[in-house]
């Protein structure tokens, strides 16, 4: 595997930004790049907060974990010509201090309760460095990606997210992003934690008429 960060890079894809979300504190989101690997590895090894708070990120987090994940995101971005994974930064070229990504459920997962039209459903996930929590970075990023990118630019009808029921901080981020809890308790088995966990399922709807739809996992 090559270490040359110039081999795989984001093209000039849509929804890339840089987006300025706040001047005070300064908060930008731009695409995650291979050059972010060292900071991703450093931040995710500060403690186990991200490991315990997400369904997939590893601990200890290795260079190979970060590289595999970021390369896959960049390839996907370039294939679709849309950015779907962003870094939270204090300047457009600053170090990564958080991560937010989006993906889309397969067509036909849900239909409009009145018209029967297939609904486009996006899903977001995020984490913020323990060095930068409680400053609004997660809430601002989630709100922007949901409303400005997934609703306006990508045409989603519903955007959903999941937080562990007991992860109150993450649930507050989703609520601040305009999402509401549709399923308070959903028991899931966490392969990495090797135990059952309880999820709370959140969603934001672009129009009121889809509110009866409980989005699938």
Residue 53 falls within a domain, yes or no?
A: yes
pLDDT recorded at residue 108:
86
**Average pLDDT of every residue of the chain:** 94
User: By residue range, what is the domain housing residue 193?
Assistant: 19-210
Residue 185 in domain = yes
| Whether pLDDT at 69 is above 50 | yes
Please write the tens of the pLDDT for every residue from 88-104: 999 999 999 999 999 99
Do the domain assignments include residue 182? yes
- pLDDT of 217 over the 70 cut: no
CA 15 to chain centre: 14
4 inside domain: no
Q: Do the domain assignments include residue 34?
A: yes
Segment 167-175 shows an average pLDDT of 96
Domain with 57 in it: what CATH number?
Answer: 3.40.630.30
Angle subtended at Cα 42 by Cα 40 and Cα 48, rounded to the nearest 5 degrees:
90
Does pLDDT of 4 surpass 60? Answer: no
Q: What is the mean pLDDT of residues 104-113?
A: 91
Q: What is the mean pLDDT of residues 53-64?
A: 94
In this prediction, residue 55 carries a pLDDT of 87
Structural domain includes residue 49 = yes
Quote the tokens at residue 51: 């490991």
Contact call for residues 53 and 170 (beta carbons, < 8 A): yes
How many domains does the chain contain in total?
1
103: in domain: yes
Residue 12 lies in a domain: no
């Amino acid at each position: 595997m090559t270490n040359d960060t110039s081999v795989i890079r984001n093209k000039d894809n849509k929804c890339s930004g840089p987006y300025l979300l706040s001047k005070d504190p300064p908060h930008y989101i731009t695409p995650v790049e291979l050059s972010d690997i060292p900071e991703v590895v450093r931040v995710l090894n500060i403690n186990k907060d991200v490991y315990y708070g997400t369904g997939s990120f590893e601990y200890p987090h290795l260079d190979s974990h970060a590289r595999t994940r970021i390369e896959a995101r960049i390839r996907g971005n370039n294939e679709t010509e849309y950015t779907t994974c962003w870094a939270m930064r204090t300047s457009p070229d600053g170090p990564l201090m958080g991560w937010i990504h989006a993906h889309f459920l397969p067509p036909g997962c849900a239909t409009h309760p009145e018209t029967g039209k297939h609904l486009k459903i996006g899903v977001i996930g995020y984490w913020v460095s323990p060095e930068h929590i409680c400053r609004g970075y997660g809430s601002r990023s989630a709100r922007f990606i949901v409303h400005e990118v997934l609703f306006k630019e990508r045409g989603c009808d519903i955007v959903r997210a999941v937080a562990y029921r007991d992860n109150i901080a993450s649930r507050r981020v989703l609520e601040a992003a305009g999402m509401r809890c549709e399923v308070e308790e959903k028991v899931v088995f966490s392969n990495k934690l090797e135990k059952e966990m309880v999820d709370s399922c959140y969603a934001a709807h672009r129009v009121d008429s889809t509110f009866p739809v409980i989005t699938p996992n």
